[in-house]
Amino acid sequence: MKEKSNKYLIAALLLGLAFHGTSIFFTLETTYDALIHLFFADHYANSWFEPWNYKWYTGFTVMSYPPLVHQAIAAFSFIGGLKFGLFTLAIISIILFITGVYRFALLMTSNKTAAGYAAILAVLSSSFVETLHVFGQLPSIIGISILMHALPEIYLWIKTGRYRYLLTALSLIAVTVTSHHVTPIFGMVFFIFPLIGMVIMDTSREQSESTKAITLKIFLRSFLKLFKRIVSFGMLSLVIIIGCILPYWINSKNNPITQVPIPHGSRDNFLEITSSGLVFFLIPWGILLILLPYIFYRYYSKRYLFFGLSITILFVLGTGGTTFIPKLVLGDTAFNILTLDRFTLWASIMSLPLFGEFAYRFAEGDLKTMIQTRFGAIYHRIIGAILAGLFIFMTIFTMSLGYFRPSQPQQIKMLPIVNFLNQDQHDQWRYMTLGFGDQMAWLSAQTNAMSVDGNYHSARRLPELTTRPIERLENSKFKGIEGIGSLQQFLTTPEKYHLKYIFSNDKFYDPILYFCGWQRLRQLENGIQVWEKLNIPPVPSILPKDDVAIWQKILWGIVPFLTVIIAFVLNIQLLWIRALKTKVRPIPEYLNFKNDYNYFSKGLLKATHIWSIFLAIVVCFGIYKFYIKNDVHHSPENTIIAYYDALDFKEFEKAHGLINPESNISIAQYMLEISVTDGLLSSYAKLDAIETIITHKTDSLATVKVHTNWITPLEKINKTDYKSLVKLNGKWFIQPDDIDLDLPPDQLYSDNVTNYFNQGRRRITTEQTHHEDVLKQPVLEVLSAKLIKYNNSYALIGEIQNIDNVPADVVLKGTLYNDANKELATFNAKYHVKHKLMPKEVSSFKINFEGIAWSKTQDSIPKTFNPDEFTPIELNEQPTKFNLQVAGNVSGSDLYKKATLSDLDISQDIISGKLFNSGLEEITIPQLLFTYYDANKNMIWVDHLFLETGIKQQRQQAFEHSFSKNNNILLISDDMKNCFVNGLPNEDISNKIVPNRIKNHTHSKLQSIAHLNYKFIKIEINSYIGNPN
């Protein structure tokens, strides 16, 4: 019999390559994972056999991910660069997937036309489109594709017992495991086990009259007959799964994932968090949801019974946290580590053969005849059009997901950053990116400089990171206070990680950088703001690494490609014959088990109809709910929530649309009023939670109490506002708030200020800075310093003065010791100091000794974050001494000192007053430092307050602060023997430069207060200028 080419398969391949092959160039780089794989590929391209990578997380091993895909991209990159490699591999994966689905469908349906339909549908199936174009999970796709190629071989081995098939099956399993480790393991359970069941069924079928006649006895007999083949295959594939990526398993055992689980949308309750439900359930299933009755009916027929069980489990596991079952089945640990979307992906892929079969029967088989005879041809055509329309809609919708809801910030031009890191030896320090999304991986691939952060969270090693449920510091603002908390720790003690440069693509992080003592360097031409920290030592030339045995490195470098070569050699003959039909080939065994496509079950058709109607009702209800929820004028709550949302996302036109139109505020006026309010709350806050309580409501009027929680880079802000709403023509609108009416006295005014410029290197040269160009470190003096204990925490407080003639950037590092001089803890001053001091300026300071948050008990992580939360370090021993190292560096930036304290009012517990901005810059975030003294004017505590609103020039801003409630503050030590400035003893410096210091000079001017513990207070002002002129 002459074999014909399957035209459907050829059509599917052509369609797939044309559709995906062109669209990947617009989607792949903005997916979640593609750039990470690119980074790994870059690693292999540069050091194929060395698994240690220094560029992320202060070093990690690439043996933490199966290497085949990365090595393949690396190999292609030698021809045309990394991106060429990425796209080439993506195209290969498309071919593998389509052919894989075809072979799998042929195996299942024993019908070439049905398999051809399946291949065409697979090209456009929403789960494949999503995995490739939204998630970019290349290894996953290649893994599952090769697994599908392996399935017929496994079938034939078990059925026929020919060793040729065993070899081809195992060779394909080996390729699967080197490209993705999870696929063969779960593939074993969910694809191969049911397949084995099917083989046994088929063998039993041969021994009985019909499928119906198969009894358990016959089944068991067949099972025993095939037992040896099954076991031998099972054992050998186990050996292959372990052996091919042995270093991976060794690494997993040596560095078990002890980290706190990172939340993933696939574990959400899809009914509560509908966005997760959309991405991880609705899209991957897509039109298959309509066919569920058909899929389950077919898979629960006797031959496919085990596939029926498998797809049921996959379906349920894929529902994530919607039901309790996945958690129960997988157990807490596995549930929290695995991303459950893969189960849905596999279930949808498992459904593809039946989808093809359905399409075949619907388009030209028994189903068509049945519908046409029962409902008429027109009905058939309409249904066909609806199904095809829905199918294409899902494909387009999935493709456009990345366009309408981009998962990544706009593409960043990396060249200026790469150039910056290359010039002037900037790559001698570590860097960090903020707000880059997954593009940080692409930057890492292009530069030799090292980052503290990384994008492959399973490989994190620093306890500061592994104890937090955040993937990267990079996007910490989306991770609430835990994220910000982690970031703060890195920003406060950057010298620990040799972290000197930060590239910020998101101004949200600016305040935290400023208040942690960082300074702006300049804006690169791609708009990225570079921040720098002074006094950071460069990365040492020799860095620690976890080395592994040479055999592991060789195995890791050679085996993956070897598996591909072996699989290629073993399968090439078949491939050749199959593709070119050079010789007649025996019909595979599985084609002997034809399905009967002559009679479509009536009950099934009915069930499908009922199910479809049910689905249609659910969808309509969902759309209605969605409309009600999004109709902003529907109720006062809706209006308020929409208004705050609009403000949060800076959609001022939308916000203006919610303002009472009768108040006659034009959009221009509204924008002006909004734009005059700058500050922490209006420019740097992200709305975290909103609660509305209607205090009073009539038919046309309502007063709403709005509790809002805002996450700012500095601290969490809880606010309560009262909003009035009116109903006009059945729509609710918000009454506008009063605006600031204050008129500043001067139209134009001038001010003389001293500006500084540091030439750095005076000659343009690549040499290290000449010694005569190195400025003297400004001399600082520690005026007082003491170690105190409060509520089981320790802090260093004191005052520091710049006694030099140049402005100084101040870095304070405190270390605690016990009586035996054992070092207990070390930390830097964070917010509680003015980091930039003019000549002779004084600042109070406080160093809190922070521990690594939640490192002790993983389960005690609070459900909601307190951004300002601080985890005191746990000390087993009592600190009794301290060492304070102060370093000054000349800095000419952020020296704005023109905020004044213009009014005060003090009651028992509250201090209130006004700040006046007398200078030429707009203060974006004013910070007050409060220093408390006892009756003898001894300093006992330092506290701070960030003002939510900025202060424009020549305007005032009110503040209110409750006195610190720390009652039991205990002085541990005020011995200043171990205070050092720029490495020299503080006392010597003090005696040399200011021998006749007037001690406690301004104590007579301390503000007295009537408080139980504190008798005097001093207020200092620190100002962050967001947009310097």
Partner 1 sequence: MRLKSTYLLTLAMLLLSFTVSIETVKINDTFRLLTPQTEFEAGHDIVLKFSAMNSSKPNLYLSNSYGSIIIKPVRSRSLLSYQLPKSFSNKAGVVNWKLLNSTLAGKLNIHPKQDVASMETYLGPPSIEAGETDYTMLVVIPTDIYDNPLKDSTQVSIKHQFSANERQDSIYMKNNISYKNIYSKTKTGRILISSESLNKNSKEYDVNILPAIPTDFTITYNRNHEYTDGNQITNFSTSIIKDKYDNIVSDGTYVDFLITNASNYQLKTSGSTVNGIATAKMIHPDHQDNWTVKAFIEGLSESNSISITYNQSVEDFEVAFSERNRIVSIGPLKSFMGQMIPDGLEVKLHIYQNHIKIKTLYKDSFSGYANFNMNPDNFPDNIYTFKIEAAGIKKTYQNIKLW
Closest approach, Cβ 336 to partner 1, in A, equals: 47
The answer to the question of residue 764 lying near partner 1 (CB under 8 A) is no
- C-beta of residue 836 within 8 angstroms of C-beta of residue 809: yes
- C-beta of residue 553 within 8 angstroms of C-beta of residue 49: yes
834-893 residues in contact with partner 1 (CB under 8 A) are 837-842
First to last CA, the chain: 84
Task: Decide the pairing of beta strands 808-817 and 881-890.
Answer: antiparallel
Closest approach, Cβ 800 to partner 1, in A, equals: 11
Q: Helix, strand or coil for residue 306?
A: helix
Between 422 and 669, CB nearer to partner 1: 669
Closest approach, Cβ 129 to partner 1, in A, equals: 52
Residue 328, H or E segment: helix 325-337
| DSSP state for residue 773 in the 8-state scheme | G
Between 528 and 1019, CB nearer to partner 1: 1019
Which residues share a beta bridge with 784?
799
CA distances from 578 to 91, 103, 122, 508, 571 (A): 21, 11, 20, 58, 10
Measured CA to CA, the distance from residue 599 to residue 920 in angstroms comes to 85
Of 956, 954, 952, the C-alpha closest to 1026 is 952
919-958 residues in contact with partner 1 (CB under 8 A) are 954, 956
Q: x/- site string to partner 1, residues 982 to 1001, per CB under 8 A?
A: ----------xxx--xxx-x
The answer to the question of residue 912 lying near partner 1 (CB under 8 A) is no
* Count of helices and strands (H, E) across the chain: 32, 27
User: 209, 596, 772, 859: which one contacts partner 1 (CB under 8 A)?
Assistant: 772
The answer to the question of residue 724 lying near partner 1 (CB under 8 A) is yes
The answer to the question of residue 302 lying near partner 1 (CB under 8 A) is no
The answer to the question of residue 743 lying near partner 1 (CB under 8 A) is yes
Between 314 and 785, CB nearer to partner 1: 785
Closest approach, Cβ 778 to partner 1, in A, equals: 10
Closest approach, Cβ 998 to partner 1, in A, equals: 5
Name residues whose C-beta falls within 8 Å of residue 579's C-beta, 6 or more positions apart in sequence: none
Measured CA to CA, the distance from residue 1016 to residue 1004 in angstroms comes to 10
Closest approach, Cβ 951 to partner 1, in A, equals: 12
CB atoms within 10 A of CB 554: 12
Q: x/- site string to partner 1, residues 793 to 812, per CB under 8 A?
A: --------x-x-xxx-----
Of 736, 707, 731, 737, the C-alpha closest to 632 is 731
The answer to the question of residue 904 lying near partner 1 (CB under 8 A) is yes
Between 58 and 949, CB nearer to partner 1: 949
Closest approach, Cβ 639 to partner 1, in A, equals: 16
The answer to the question of residue 909 lying near partner 1 (CB under 8 A) is no
Measured CA to CA, the distance from residue 269 to residue 320 in angstroms comes to 7
Q: Helix, strand or coil for residue 597?
A: coil
The answer to the question of residue 775 lying near partner 1 (CB under 8 A) is yes
Q: What angle do CA 652, 723, 700 make, to 5 degrees?
A: 105
Measured CA to CA, the distance from residue 99 to residue 574 in angstroms comes to 14
Measured CA to CA, the distance from residue 653 to residue 647 in angstroms comes to 10
Closest approach, Cβ 901 to partner 1, in A, equals: 5
At which residue do the structure tokens 């603002």 appear? 477
The answer to the question of residue 650 lying near partner 1 (CB under 8 A) is no
Between 550 and 998, CB nearer to partner 1: 998
Residue by residue, what is the 3-state secondary structure of 64-83? Answer: HCCCHHHHHHHHHHHHHCHH
Size of the site for partner 1 (CB under 8 A): 62
User: 209, 596, 738, 859: which one contacts partner 1 (CB under 8 A)?
Assistant: 738
CB atoms within 10 A of CB 873: 19
Residue 411 in tokens: 């593409």
Among the residue ranges 556-564, 663-671, 737-745, 809-817, the one whose residues contact partner 1 (CB under 8 A): 737-745
Q: How many residues does the chain have?
A: 1029
Closest approach, Cβ 1004 to partner 1, in A, equals: 9
Between 460 and 961, CB nearer to partner 1: 961
User: 364, 877, 905, 960: which one contacts partner 1 (CB under 8 A)?
Assistant: 905
Closest approach, Cβ 737 to partner 1, in A, equals: 12
User: 209, 596, 699, 746: which one contacts partner 1 (CB under 8 A)?
Assistant: 746
The answer to the question of residue 903 lying near partner 1 (CB under 8 A) is yes
Between 618 and 753, CB nearer to partner 1: 753
User: 330, 701, 726, 945: which one contacts partner 1 (CB under 8 A)?
Assistant: 701
- C-beta of residue 199 within 8 angstroms of C-beta of residue 159: yes
The answer to the question of residue 901 lying near partner 1 (CB under 8 A) is yes
Of 47, 88, 81, 83, the C-alpha closest to 67 is 47
At which residue do the structure tokens 């996302």 appear? 649
The answer to the question of residue 900 lying near partner 1 (CB under 8 A) is yes
Residue 725 in tokens: 């709403």
User: 75, 330, 647, 906: which one contacts partner 1 (CB under 8 A)?
Assistant: 906
Closest approach, Cβ 448 to partner 1, in A, equals: 32
Which residues share a beta bridge with 452?
none
Closest approach, Cβ 801 to partner 1, in A, equals: 6
Closest approach, Cβ 908 to partner 1, in A, equals: 14
User: 254, 333, 373, 1008: which one contacts partner 1 (CB under 8 A)?
Assistant: 1008
Cα 660 to the center of its chain, rounded Å: 39
Tell me which residues touch partner 1 (CB under 8 A): 695-696, 701, 703, 722, 724, 738, 740-746, 752-754, 756, 771-772, 774-776, 783, 801, 803, 805-807, 837-842, 895, 897-898, 900-906, 916, 918, 954, 956, 992-994, 997-999, 1001-1002, 1005-1008, 1019
